[in-house]
Amino acid sequence: MKEKKTIIELTTTTIEEYRERRKRPLSLLADNVRSRHNIGSFFRTSDAFLVEEIILCGISATPPDNEIAKTALGAEESVKWRYADDSLEEVKRLKGKGKKICVLEQAHDSVMLREFMPEDGEDYVLVVGNEVEGVNQKIVNLADVIIEIPQNGIKHSLNVSVSAGIALWELSSKMK
């Protein structure tokens, strides 16, 4: 018989143990993401893929928040996060520290997500943008690489939390 796993079988670690685990050299920066549900989804996805940190910028909501908690399901407690007022200034600061800025956006000269290969020994920041405007063009201009998810339907984009989930999965699966 095919049975789903129980919550007990799925629980592999405590919050404290998770926080001590080695994370991938990958952070997620939310550039003015409006929806608290999207922010909560970022936390849950980042927990699953051992993302080092989430950086919430501008109008992006921060925990504690009931709407974030509704989709994060506790991951807002396990994943390291911080707030930065200005996305552009934070990207400049991170780039100055040697982090590789990967913007998830549809742009000329972008690299398709499946084709992008992170380099060993590099730290990456995946920047995702506002649900309507996308990533600020000034941040796009600073990117080390612009990563694009191919679209084949009538709509030209995916929800930002879905896009972030796809990109985080693909990047984390390529990182050691």
pLDDT in tens, 98-117: 999 999 999 999 999 999 99
Quick one: 114 exposed, middle or buried, by C-beta within 10 A (0-12, 13-18, 19+)? exposed
Question: According to the model, what pLDDT value does residue 9 have?
Answer: 80
| Spatial contact of 143 and 116, defined as CB atoms under 8 Å apart | no
**Domain boundaries defined on the chain:** 14-174
* Mean pLDDT to the nearest integer, 34-49: 98
Phi, psi angles (nearest 5°) of residue 126: -90, 120
| Spatial contact of 103 and 134, defined as CB atoms under 8 Å apart | no
Q: Which CATH class is domain 14-174?
A: alpha beta
* Mean pLDDT to the nearest integer, 44-53: 97
Nearest to 145 by CA among 115, 175, 174: 115
Per DSSP bridges, beta strands 51-57 and 111-112 are unpaired
Question: According to the model, what pLDDT value does residue 8 have?
Answer: 80
pLDDT at 1 over 90: no
Degrees, nearest 5: CA angle 12-20-103: 95
* Mean pLDDT to the nearest integer, 45-68: 98
pLDDT in tens, 117-152: 999 999 999 999 999 999 999 999 999 999 999 999
What percent of the chain is modeled with pLDDT above 90?
A: 91
The CA-based dihedral angle spanning residues 102, 108, 114, 119, taken in that order and rounded to the nearest 10 degrees: -40
Cα separation of 47 and 172, whole Å?
Answer: 12
Helix (H) or strand (E) segment spanning residue 154: none
pLDDT in tens, 151-167: 999 998 999 999 999 99
Cα separation of 98 and 75, whole Å?
Answer: 28
pLDDT in tens, 7-26: 888 888 899 999 999 999 99
CB neighbourhood size of 73 (10 A): 13
